[in-house]
């Protein structure tokens, strides 16, 4: 029986050295690997949650910036329209003023033309009257009347 106990001890020790020790080391390494993987997974989940929070903040900021840009562009557009209207009003007034000046010039030109035509008509009329008096022999009377 003592031989069997010694035999059992030798076999137990041989199995322990050859199988149990490497197997326990393999189980320990695998446990550490699984534990590390679980910790990394937890860290990754936390980082994903943080990234989602940051993404939400970035999206909100982008929306706010976009709204500000749109508001600014609307304001700029309104300002451009206002300036264009003011410029159009100024140009309209200038065109009206210029049209009035042109009308006055045209009126003065027409009045001058009428005066010239009237002077020619009066001259022609006087010439015909004087020629009629001279032809009728009344030229001396006309000259005396003009001198008076």
pLDDT digits (tens, 9 = 90+) for 41-58: 999 999 999 999 999 999
Q: What angle do CA 34, 40, 45 make, to 5 degrees?
A: 125
The predicted model scores a pTM of 0.42
Roughly how many angstroms between the first and final C-alpha of the chain, as a whole number?
187
What CA–CA distance (Å, rounded) separates 134 from 83? 75
**Average pLDDT for residues 6-24, to the nearest whole number?**
88
**Average pLDDT for residues 18-35, to the nearest whole number?**
90
**Average pLDDT for residues 75-91, to the nearest whole number?**
93
Write the CB contacts of 134 (distance below 8 Å, at least 6 apart in sequence): 142
* C-beta of residue 120 within 8 angstroms of C-beta of residue 114: no
pLDDT score of 138: 66
Counting the structural domains of the chain, the total is 1
Instruction: Write out pLDDT tens, residues 121-141.
Output: 988 888 887 777 666 666 667
Q: Give the residue numbers spanning the domain of 97.
A: 2-147
Kindly tell me if the per-residue pLDDT of 79 is higher than 70. yes
Q: Which two tokens stand for residue 63?
A: 């929306």
pLDDT score of 136: 65
Kindly tell me if the per-residue pLDDT of 28 is higher than 80. yes
């Amino acid at each position: 029986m003592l031989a069997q106990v010694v035999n059992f001890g030798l076999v137990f020790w041989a199995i322990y050295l050859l199988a149990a020790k490497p197997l326990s080391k393999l189980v320990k390494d695998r446990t550490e690997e699984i534990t590390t993987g679980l910790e990394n997974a937890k860290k990754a989940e936390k980082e994903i949650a943080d990234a989602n929070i940051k993404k939400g903040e970035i999206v909100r900021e982008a929306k706010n910036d976009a709204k500000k840009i749109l508001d600014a562009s609307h304001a700029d557009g309104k300002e451009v329209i206002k300036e264009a209207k003011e410029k159009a009003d100024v140009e309209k007034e200038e065109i009206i003023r210029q049209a009035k000046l042109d009308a006055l010039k045209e009126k003065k030109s027409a009045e001058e033309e009428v005066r010239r035509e009237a002077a020619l008509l009066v001259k022609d009329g006087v010439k015909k009257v004087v020629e009629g008096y001279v032809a009728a022999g009344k030229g001396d009377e006309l000259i005396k009347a003009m001198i008076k």
